[in-house]
């Protein structure tokens, strides 16, 4: 009997890759505290306070550990030494933590254990020690499973037939025990083994979709959707592409990993962490969109991950469960299908319209699901309603938003016996935070004050709306004053342009469509950029290959993007590292172009920057080596392993485009190589 081995080689490999993905997305608290010390040496006290608060917020989510604990002590020491209002802040935060713990205890008394745990998680952000005793009581209150006891009850599957691709008659290969439960297939891979379900169905350019639900939602579990399946000549197992969804109980997040399997070779293509947002009956939606060589994978409404593969992806569709050396609870799969691709959303206007419609649909679904649950299962109903309220808050102000909010509030009072008490507590917390914000505002620390008012508004959006608007206006005025007083810091760096001219004065337009650059003295400029217009410029072909290079870019308006080309093979196959100016700040990102109209995002991160600095010049550094890509802007760093990039090609260039109304001119200066 042939053996099909699609499980990952070891859990250690998965853990390492997941840790690498997390490191790209999250800044270490130790790094933040070190940055704050440097800011204090430069007398940038307000910036340091904000960074130290960020570090403490992050530490509140991490387990106790000698490094974490010493980092927290260091952060508090620096705050005590440099912020005269630190004692007042600690008192207010301790009060908030205490009130959240009291709410948690009240919910525990109602046996709303998930809600209680959520309040304790919030309490940790304000006072890590306040909830220790209550958390122990909560753990003791949780039901304990006895050896041999039945699995935790989950909602019963809807009655009805299995979808066609979950019928055994439509399979090409099945490994392990899969049993029919209502309209779903249920399976549980033994530790160290895996289960497979390979269908006879094939796909071309389609969206492949499945829904899965863990029987024990809080326990370790995994589920895998596979596309492009086929057995290569000389191989005994299926090759193809697998989207692995691994649940991590401590973080309550899913690690998504997209793998390429070629015989017994396993290659990680891209990884990310997402928050799962299941439907009312506990199912998550997982999809892979196939467009020729491009794969776009997504779980629920989380951010998608995308890759470009060496060739068009074609083959059979399947499911897997189980990871080597890891345990998993039982998982149910339903509605496995091959659908037509959704249409591309090409314009910002269409995207906004679609996003608004999706948000309204999600609100309607959450309310409808809550209505079904409100009598027999009020706790999950209340969670759905609070999620819906959050979505309502994101809507544009108007009659519709007001009426939706009132209607959902009324349902929440019906579902949650502590709704009135919780609302009163939240309003009191908001008042305390806003009062603390006033103290910082009077001291001229307007950005710190805004941070506190935003926390207050999260508790009481309506009550703090005017205060929030005033805090934002104060920061806006502060930014204007800073830009005027520190205009010299917005000027371009001192550079005669010699290196820039050597590389680009006799350059060439790199992408056939769009605009060229003009090199004049110390400046290279992409002029006349309007919405959707691209400008590109490459040095003469005789220039040597360089691994590390940098440039300063000036982005004059929201929607402007500018940066560097790396690993260019030709005008339709290259990478870019760009800085984007958007309505709320600056974002550094890296992407690959893999065809006439195909872009694959690699990594992105917001760049910490005061609003008044956005009109200045910003250095972008790129290093593309055998190890991969490293890109930096200020304190922001992106790292992408070489496996996700393909072979290092070597040709470089300048790149700019605009996504809003124009025209605008994106300027570059102080180009340098090797630094």
- Is 257 in contact with 275 (CB distance < 8 Å)? no
- The secondary element (H helix, E strand) that includes residue 56 is helix 45-59
DSSP state of 648: -
Rounded to whole angstroms, what are the CA distances from 497 to 433, 521, 524, 544? 50, 6, 9, 19
Contact call for residues 213 and 332 (beta carbons, < 8 A) = yes
Taking only Cα atoms into account, the Rg of the chain, rounded to an integer number of angstroms, comes to: 27
Nearest 10 degrees: Cα torsion 367, 373, 377, 380:
-30
Residues 97, 102, 108, 114, Cα dihedral to 10°: -30
> What is the spatial distance between Cα 662 and Cα 531, in angstroms, rounded to a whole number?
6
What's the whole-number average pLDDT of the chain? 86
Find how far residue 113's CA is from the centre of its chain: 27
Which residues, including other chains, have CB under 8 Å from residue 410's CB and lie 6 or more apart? none
How far is Cα 174 from Cα 215, in angstroms, rounded to an integer? 21
CA distance 166 to 198: 10
Q: Strand order of the sheet with strand 222-231?
A: 171-175, 195-203, 315-321, 222-231, 238-248, 253-262, 265-274
HEC assignment per residue over 303-352: CCEEEECCCCCCEEEEEEECCCCCCCCCEEEEEEEEECCCCCCCCHHHHH
Q: Which helix (H) or strand (E) holds 431?
A: helix 419-442
State the residue for tokens 């920057």. Answer: 609
Separation of alpha carbons 321 and 195, rounded Å: 5
pTM of the model: 0.65
pLDDT for 343 equals 67
List the chain residues with pLDDT less than 50: 1-25, 148-154, 157, 345-348
């Amino acid at each position: 009997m042939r053996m099909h081995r699609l499980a990952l080689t070891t859990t250690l490999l998965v853990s390492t890759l997941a840790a690498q993905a997390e490191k790209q997305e999250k800044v270490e608290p130790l790094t933040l505290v070190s940055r704050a010390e440097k800011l204090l040496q430069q007398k940038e006290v307000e910036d340091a306070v904000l960074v130290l608060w960020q570090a403490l917020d992050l530490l509140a989510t991490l387990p106790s550990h000698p490094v974490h604990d010493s980092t927290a002590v260091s952060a508090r020491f620096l705050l005590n030494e440099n912020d005269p209002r630190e004692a007042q802040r600690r008192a207010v935060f301790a009060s908030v933590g205490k009130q959240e713990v009291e709410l948690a205890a009240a919910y525990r008394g109602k046996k709303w254990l998930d809600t209680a745990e959520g309040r304790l998680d919030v309490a940790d952000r304000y006072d890590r020690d306040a909830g220790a005793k209550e958390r122990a009581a909560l753990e003791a209150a949780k039901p304990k499973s006895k050896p041999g006891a039945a699995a935790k009850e989950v909602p019963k599957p809807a009655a009805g037939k299995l979808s066609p691709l979950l019928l055994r008659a439509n399979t090409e290969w099945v490994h392990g025990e899969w049993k029919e439960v209502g309209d779903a297939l249920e399976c549980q891979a033994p530790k160290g083994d895996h289960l497979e379900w390979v269908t006879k169905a094939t796909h071309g350019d389609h969206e492949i979709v499945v829904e899965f639900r863990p029987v024990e939602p809080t326990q370790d579990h995994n589920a895998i959707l596979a596309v492009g399946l086929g057995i290569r000549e000389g191989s005994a197992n299926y090759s193809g592409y697998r989207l692995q969804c691994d649940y991590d109980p401590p973080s309550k997040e899913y690690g998504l990993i997209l793998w390429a399997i070629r015989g017994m070779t396993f290659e990680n293509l891209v990884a990310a962490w997402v928050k799962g947002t299941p439907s009312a009956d506990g199912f998550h939606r997982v999809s892979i969109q196939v467009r020729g060589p491009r794969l776009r994978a997504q779980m629920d409404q989380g951010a998608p991950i995308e890759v470009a593969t060496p060739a068009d992806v074609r083959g059979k569709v399947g499911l897997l469960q189980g990871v080597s050396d890891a345990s998993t609870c039982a998982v149910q799969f339903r509605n496995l299908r091959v659908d037509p691709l959704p249409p591309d959303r090409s314009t910002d206007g269409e995207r906004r319209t679609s996003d608004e419609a999706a948000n309204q649909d999600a609100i309607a679904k959450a309310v409808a699901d809550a209505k079904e649950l409100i009598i027999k299962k009020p706790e999950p109903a209340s969670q759905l309603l609070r999620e819906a309220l959050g979505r309502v808050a994101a809507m544009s102000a108007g009659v519709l938003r007001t009426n939706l909010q009132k209607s959902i509030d009324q349902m929440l009072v019906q579902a949650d016996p502590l709704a009135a008490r919780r609302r009163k507590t939240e309003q009191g917390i908001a008042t305390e935070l806003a009062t603390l914000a006033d103290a910082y505002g009077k001291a001229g620390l307007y950005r710190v004050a805004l941070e506190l008012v935003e926390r207050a508004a999260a508790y009481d959006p309506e009550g703090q709306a005017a205060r929030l608007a005033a805090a934002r206006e104060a920061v806006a005025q502060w930014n204007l004053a800073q830009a005027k007083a520190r205009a010299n810091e917005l000027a371009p760096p001192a550079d005669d342009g010699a290196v820039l001219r050597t590389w680009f004065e006799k350059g060439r337009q790199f992408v056939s469509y769009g605009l060229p650059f003009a090199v004049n003295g110390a400046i290279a400029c992409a002029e006349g950029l309007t919405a959707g217009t691209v400008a590109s410029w490459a040095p003469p072909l005789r220039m040597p290959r360089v691994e590390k290079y940098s440039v300063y870019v000036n982005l004059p308006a929201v929607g402007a993007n500018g940066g560097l080309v790396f690993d260019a093979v030709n005008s339709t196959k290259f990478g870019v590292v760009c800085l984007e100016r958007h309505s709320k700040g600056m974002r550094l990102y890296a992407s690959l172009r893999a065809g006439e109209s195909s872009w694959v995002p690699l990594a992105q991160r917001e760049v910490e920057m005061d609003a008044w600095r956005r009109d200045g010049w910003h250095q972008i550094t790129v290093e593309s080596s055998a190890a991969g890509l490293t890109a930096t802007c200020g304190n922001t760093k992106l790292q992408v392993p070489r496996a996700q990039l393909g072979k290092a090609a070597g040709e470089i260039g300048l790149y700019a485009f605009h996504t809003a109304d124009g025209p605008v001119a994106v300027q570059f200066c102080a180009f340098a190589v090797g630094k």
